[in-house]
Structure formats: structure tokens, C-alpha cells
């Protein structure tokens, strides 16, 4: 974690930084490996260009913070104490007298920015979110190892879902089977709410699982992810129950081709919007362009949705070390939906998939 904090310290020196106040628990974990959900309580990591960083957290979390990879000053406060008293004292001891204060404006409550403002006569705020996003975009060896394991467990979870398919079983019942099976093997943290959608429900890309019962001829769509050491996986597979119509087979094969060709095309330096175009052109040529209603994918890491956004409008380039999803989909009202999603790591040698559950069309009988 020291290298990551050092990078922020160096960045602050070059960007007129007085200090950075980092409060998002996910970013705090990224920089320190201290996992904390403070709820309504105060959590703050303060990083300086020329002084030692410090952290302020609830007293009940101090032991875990001190045992983390942070290795610097940790200040705890009780519920009957004002954490800003401790923040003020620690800031004054470091005598940071000029420069911008860098924050996370998309997640920091306005009240906390105001509290900082009262500590200084001349305060100028700026965002550190682009720096943090760019750092989190590129995965190191330990991060990649966690994501590989998360991908393996996601593969296993899809298998549990396939085994749970029975005529008359509901979407929610299948989800319960998946999550119970994972819990029995010690995997209980899901990256997001597990999704199982059947029949016409699968035509809603982000539908809500219901008590709808499986019927013959249904598409059954699984979208799930697990967390390993804080890092997420995200996989989608779609199968058919008992039989598949010609229309369903065409939809599936088109989506599969879009998935596979997009993965192959994911190379260092490619414009991200052009990668979206690879999948979109295949789906459009097959007559389903109007039914591919979302971007190709998204970045993946400590969050289930991170930068980069794999959309047609993104002019950024693919960079070695990124992990992102490739998830083309076709959603036809009255017929159902197909989505095939993989997690992809861009290595120096090209794209490497982290999810490996078979992708050929399965007819579950």
C-alpha cells in the first residue's frame, strides 16, 4: 500500500496540493487494505505532499486499521466525541499552510466539505477522483490474483444455477440455491444482487428476479459476481430450457460471435469506443441492432462497475493492466434476452479471460 500512497504524495507535489482527504471506504481500502463500513460515522484518510499521512476512524475500528497495510498514524474517536476535533489537531500539527485540498466530490457529503472549509481562511477544493480512478484502472499482481479467483468462483456459481434448473422452479428459488451452495463452500460475499431471469423477463437487461416459474422454451439468464479480497467478478450466461426456437438460436449465436470477436479485438491502444463498435456491428448486421440497448461493458475491480466505460462514446485507449467486462446482449420483447459476459484482463500479450464457464448454447433438459 505504501507505493500507492507515495504516488498520491508525489502527485500532490506536482499539483499544488495542500493535502488529499479521502473518505470513500473503497478508496481507503485500495490505498491501505483497511476494510471499513463506517455507516454514518466519520472515516478519513489524509495524505500530504511533505508530511506523514494519518487516518481517523471510529474507535471500534482502530485495531483493524492498525493491523492493515497502512502502517501510519491511526486516530480513533468514540461515539460521544467529535471526530473533527482530532482532524483539526492532526492537520495543525502538520502545518500544511497553502495549496488545494483534494476531495472525492461525487461521494463526499457537502457537510464534510463545509467542515473542512471552517478550518482554513483560504481554501480551494479540487477533485482527486480522476487520479484514483486511473490508479485503480491498472491492476497489480495481487489484485489480478484476487480477480482470477473471483472469476473461478463465479464459474462455479453459474454451474450451481444450471444444476438448480427444474420445471416450475422460480427465479428466486434458483438464486437461493446458488447462494446457499456458495455459502457452504465459504463464499458468501456477492459483488451485487444475483440475477436470474427467465422467459420474457430475460428481455429486461437489468430486470428484477421474481416468482415466475420456469417454462419449456424459456431463455434463462444468469448474471452474478462474487468478491475475493475485496475484488469483484461479473459473469453472465444464458441457457435454454428443454428446447430453443430458430429465433432463439440465431439470437444466441449472434451474441456469442459478438462476445468472442470483441474479446479478440481488445488490444493495447485500441479506442474503447471502437471495441464497442465491433460487437455492435455484428449484432446490427444480424438484424438486432435496435435490441442491443447498452454499452459493451465496464471496468471491474473493487467495484462491480468502474472506469473505463466500454461505450461507443469513449475515446480513451485500452491499456495493459486493465480489467473490464465484455457483455453484448440482445433483448427482444416477447421472445427474451441473451447476454454473454466475460471478465477480461489486458496483458502485455493481449486479452486474457478470467471467466471460463462454457459459452456454447446449452439446452437444459
Q: Which run of H or of E encompasses 175?
A: helix 171-184
67 CB contacts (<8 Å, ≥6 apart)?
Answer: none
- 2-137 classified as CATH 3.40.350.10: yes
Residue 321 Rama label (left phi>0; alpha psi -120 to 50; beta):
left
Which of the 8 DSSP states describes residue 255? H
Cα(123)–Cα(238) distance, integer angstroms: 53
Residues 337, 219: contact at Cβ < 8 Å? yes
Spans of all domains in the chain: 2-137, 141-364
Residue 24's φ and ψ, nearest 5 degrees, are -65, 120
CATH fold match for the domains 2-137 and 141-364: no
- 141-364 classified as CATH 3.90.230.10: yes
Residues 157, 224: contact at Cβ < 8 Å? yes
- In order along its 365 residues, the chain shows pLDDT tens digits of 579 999 999 999 999 999 999 999 999 999 999 999 999 999 999 999 999 999 999 999 999 999 999 999 999 999 999 999 999 999 999 987 689 999 999 999 888 888 888 888 788 999 999 999 999 999 999 999 999 999 999 999 999 999 999 999 999 999 999 999 999 999 989 999 999 999 999 999 999 999 999 999 999 999 999 999 999 999 999 999 999 999 999 999 999 999 999 999 999 999 999 999 999 999 999 999 999 999 999 999 999 999 999 999 999 999 999 999 999 999 999 999 999 999 999 999 999 999 999 999 999 99
Cα(357)–Cα(339) distance, integer angstroms: 14
Cα(131)–Cα(143) distance, integer angstroms: 18
- C-alpha 162: how far from chain center: 24
Three-state DSSP at 127 gives strand
The number of residues making up the chain comes to 365
Amino acid at each position: 500500500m505504501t507505493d500507492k500512497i507515495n504516488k498520491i504524495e508525489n502527485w500532490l507535489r506536482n499539483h499544488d496540493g495542500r493535502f488529499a482527504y479521502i473518505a470513500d471506504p473503497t478508496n481507503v481500502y485500495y490505498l491501505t487494505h483497511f476494510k471499513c463500513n463506517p455507516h454514518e460515522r466519520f472515516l478519513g484518510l489524509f495524505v500530504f505532499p511533505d508530511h506523514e499521512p494519518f487516518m481517523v476512524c471510529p474507535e471500534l475500528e482502530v485495531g483493524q486499521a492498525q493491523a492493515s497495510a497502512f502502517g501510519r498514524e491511526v486516530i480513533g474517536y468514540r461515539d460521544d466525541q467529535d471526530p473533527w476535533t482530532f482532524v483539526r489537531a492532526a492537520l495543525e500539527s502538520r502545518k500544511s499552510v497553502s495549496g488545494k485540498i483534494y476531495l472525492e466530490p461525487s461521494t463526499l457529503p457537502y457537510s464534510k466539505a463545509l467542515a473542512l472549509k471552517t478550518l482554513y481562511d483560504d481554501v480551494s477544493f479540487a477533485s482527486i477522483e480522476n487520479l484514483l480512478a486511473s490508479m485503480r484502472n491498472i491492476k497489480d499482481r495481487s489484485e489480478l490474483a484476487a480477480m482470477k479467483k473471483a472469476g473461478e468462483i463465479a464459474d462455479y456459481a453459474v454451474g450451481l444455477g444450471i444444476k438448480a434448473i427444474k420445471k416450475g422452479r422460480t427465479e428466486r428459488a434458483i438464486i437461493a440455491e446458488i447462494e446457499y451452495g456458495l455459502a457452504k463452500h465459504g463464499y458468501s460475499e456477492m459483488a451485487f444482487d444475483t440475477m436470474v431471469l427467465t422467459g420474457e423477463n430475460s428481455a429486461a437487461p437489468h430486470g428484477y428476479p421474481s416468482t415466475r416459474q420456469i417454462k419449456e422454451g424459456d431463455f434463462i439468464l444468469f448474471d452474478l459476481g462474487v468478491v475475493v479480497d475485496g475484488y469483484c467478478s461479473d459473469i453472465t450466461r444464458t441457457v435454454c430450457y428443454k428446447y430453443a426456437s430458430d429465433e432463439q438460436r440465431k439470437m444466441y449465436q449472434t451474441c456469442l460471435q459478438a462476445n468472442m470477436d470483441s474479446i479478440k479485438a481488445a488490444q493495447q491502444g485500441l479506442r474503447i469506443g471502437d471495441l464497442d463498435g465491433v460487437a455492435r456491428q455484428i449484432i446490427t448486421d444480424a438484424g438486432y441492432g435496435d435490441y442491443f440497448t447498452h454499452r459493451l461493458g465496464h471496468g471491474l475491480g473493487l467495484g462491480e462497475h468502474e472506469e473505463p466505460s466500454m461505450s461507443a462514446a469513449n475515446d480513451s485507449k485500452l491499456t495493459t493492466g486493465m480489467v473490464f467486462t465484455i457483455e453484448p446482449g440482445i433483448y427482444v420483447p416477447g421472445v427474451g434476452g441473451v447476454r454473454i459476459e466475460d471478465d477480461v484482463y489486458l496483458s502485455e500479450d493481449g486479452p486474457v479471460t478470467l471467466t471460463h464457464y462454457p459459452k456454447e448454447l446449452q439446452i437444459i433438459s
